[in-house]
C-alpha cells in the first residue's frame, strides 16, 4: 500500500468534458486559448429553469472594468428605449448568434428565437458556423463554444455577404461574455454579463511517470422517490511523486487532468424473486451528460419519477430501495473506477 507523505495534500482537480465527442473545457475549469472553451448560461425564472422567448446574441469582450460591461453597452442619454443598455460596441473578440434559413437550408439572416438554437449534437469542432452558434442543451440551459480560430459573421452583415471574421480572444487574460435575451414576446431585451479567464496552456514535463491517488466521495446518501436530483460524487487527488509533487500541484491549479466522466447506477435487490443487480444506467449511457465543476465534483441529473431497467427482462421490484453508484473517468493515461457507493431511494 502506498503511504501518502505527511506533507502531501488533496487538491481539487481541474477537469475536461466532452461535447458529443469533442473535448471542451468549461468556464470554471480554467480554459486555455488553445482548446475549445464551453460557456454555459442558465435562465431561471420564478424558481424554474425555463426557456426565454429569444436568445439574441452572445458577445465576448476583454474584461477591463472588473466584470462590468459599461464600455460596451449603450448608455447614451439620447438612445432609444429599445437600444438603451444593449451592446453597442463593434470591437468584440467573438460573437455568437443563430441563423435564419430558407427552405433550401441556405442562410438568409439571423434568428433569435429559441427554436433556432441547434442541438449540441450538431457541434463537430469545426471553425465556421457551428463555432458561432448558440446551442440549446436543455430547457433554460444554453451554451456557446469559444473555439480557437473560430469564425463568425458580424451582426451588420447583409444577407448576401457572409464574410467570416476570426475570433481574437486568443490570449490569456480575463474576458466577459454578454448574453442578450428577451424574456417574453413583446418585452425589452436584457443583457446578462458573466466572466471567464483564459489561462496558460496545460503543458508540463516530469522526469518520472506521474503517480496520482484518487479519492471519491458520494455527497448524498438518500433521495426521495419522485424527485429529480443530481447525484454528486466529489473527486480529490493526491500526488505520490515526491520530487515533482509541488510542480504538479501548480499544474493542477492551472491545467486539466480529469476527462470523460461517466456514472453507473445499479439497483440492488435481496429478494430471490427479483433480479439481484438491475442495471439502470451504464457508463456509456451517461457519457456526455455527467457534469464536472471546478471543485472536481461530478454530477448526474437523475429523475426518480421513471426508473426503468436498462434490460427489459430484469425485474426491478419497485423504485424504492438501495442503489449502487460508481463513477468512471480518465486521469492522464489511466482509467479510474471509483469505489461502489450506496444510495437509498426512499
Residue 66 Rama label (left phi>0; alpha psi -120 to 50; beta): left
- The average pLDDT across 237-264 equals 69
CA distance 218 to 196: 29
User: Are residues 96 and 132 in contact, defined by beta-carbon separation less than 8 angstroms?
Assistant: yes
CA distance 243 to 200: 23
Task: Please tell me which residue, 80 or 158, carries the higher pLDDT value.
Answer: 80
Whole-angstrom distance, CA of residue 38 vs CA of residue 61: 16
Least confident of 1-5, 48-52, 130-134, 203-207: 1-5
* Confidence grade of residue 295 (pLDDT, cut at 50, 70, 90): confident
Average pLDDT over residues 165-189: 89
Q: Quick one: pLDDT at residue 15?
A: 46
The residues spanned by each domain of the chain are 33-198, 212-345
Overall CATH class of domain 212-345: mainly beta
Nearest CA-CA partner of 27 in 172, 195, 224: 195
CA distance 97 to 104: 20
| Predicted confidence (pLDDT) at residue 39 exceeds the cutoff of 70 | yes
From the list 237, 261, 236, 258, the residue with the least C-alpha distance to 325 is: 261
Residue 328 in contact with residue 283, Cβ under 8 Å?
Answer: yes
Q: What does the longest C-alpha to C-alpha distance in the chain come to?
A: 77
| Separation CA 4–CA 213 (nearest Å) | 9
User: Is residue 39 within 8 Å of 58, Cβ to Cβ?
Assistant: yes
Residue 6 predicted with pLDDT over 60:
no
Q: What is the DSSP letter of 33?
A: T
Place of cell 438491475: 278
Distance CA 38, CA 165 (A): 20
Mean pLDDT confidence for 137-158 = 82
pTM greater than 0.85 (yes/no): no
Grid coordinates representing 228? 429529480
Residue 11 pLDDT exceeds 50: no
Amino acid at each position: 500500500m502506498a503511504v501518502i507523505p505527511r506533507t502531501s495534500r488533496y487538491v481539487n482537480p481541474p477537469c475536461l468534458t466532452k461535447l458529443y465527442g469533442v473535448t471542451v473545457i468549461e468556464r470554471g475549469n480554467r480554459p486555455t486559448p488553445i482548446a475549445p472553451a464551453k460557456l454555459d448560461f442558465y435562465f431561471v425564472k420564478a424558481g424554474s429553469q425555463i426557456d426565454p422567448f429569444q436568445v439574441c446574441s452572445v458577445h465576448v469582450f476583454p474584461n477591463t472594468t472588473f466584470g462590468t460591461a459599461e464600455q460596451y453597452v449603450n448608455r447614451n442619454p439620447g438612445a432609444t428605449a429599445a437600444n438603451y443598455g444593449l451592446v453597442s460596441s463593434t470591437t468584440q473578440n467573438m460573437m455568437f448568434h443563430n441563423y435564419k434559413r430558407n427552405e433550401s437550408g441556405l442562410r438568409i439572416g439571423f434568428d433569435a428565437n429559441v427554436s433556432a438554437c441547434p442541438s449540441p449534437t450538431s457541434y463537430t469542432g469545426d471553425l465556421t458556423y457551428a463555432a458561432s452558434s448558440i446551442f440549446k442543451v436543455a430547457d433554460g440551459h444554453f451554451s456557446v463554444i469559444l473555439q480557437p480560430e473560430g469564425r463568425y459573421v458580424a451582426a451588420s452583415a447583409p444577407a448576401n455577404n457572409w464574410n467570416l471574421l476570426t475570433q481574437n480572444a486568443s490570449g490569456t487574460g480575463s474576458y466577459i461574455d454578454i448574453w442578450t435575451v428577451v424574456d417574453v414576446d413583446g418585452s425589452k431585451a436584457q443583457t446578462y454579463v458573466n466572466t471567464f479567464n483564459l489561462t496558460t496552456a496545460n503543458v508540463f514535463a516530469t522526469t518520472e511517470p506521474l503517480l496520482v491517488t484518487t479519492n471519491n466521495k458520494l455527497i448524498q446518501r438518500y433521495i426521495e422517490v419522485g424527485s429529480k436530483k443530481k447525484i454528486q460524487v466529489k473527486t480529490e487527488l493526491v500526488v505520490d511523486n515526491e520530487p515533482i509533487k509541488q510542480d504538479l500541484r501548480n499544474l493542477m491549479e492551472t491545467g486539466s487532468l480529469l476527462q470523460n466522466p461517466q456514472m453507473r447506477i445499479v439497483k440492488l435487490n435481496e429478494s430471490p424473486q427479483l433480479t439481484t443487480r438491475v442495471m439502470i444506467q451504464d457508463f456509456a449511457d451517461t457519457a456526455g451528460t455527467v457534469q464536472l465543476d471546478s471543485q472536481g465534483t461530478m454530477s448526474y441529473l437523475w429523475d426518480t419519477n421513471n426508473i426503468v431497467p436498462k434490460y427489459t427482462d430484469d425485474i426491478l421490484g419497485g423504485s424504492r430501495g438501495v442503489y449502487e453508484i460508481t463513477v468512471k473517468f480518465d486521469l492522464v493515461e489511466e482509467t479510474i473506477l471509483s469505489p461502489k457507493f450506496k444510495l437509498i431511494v426512499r
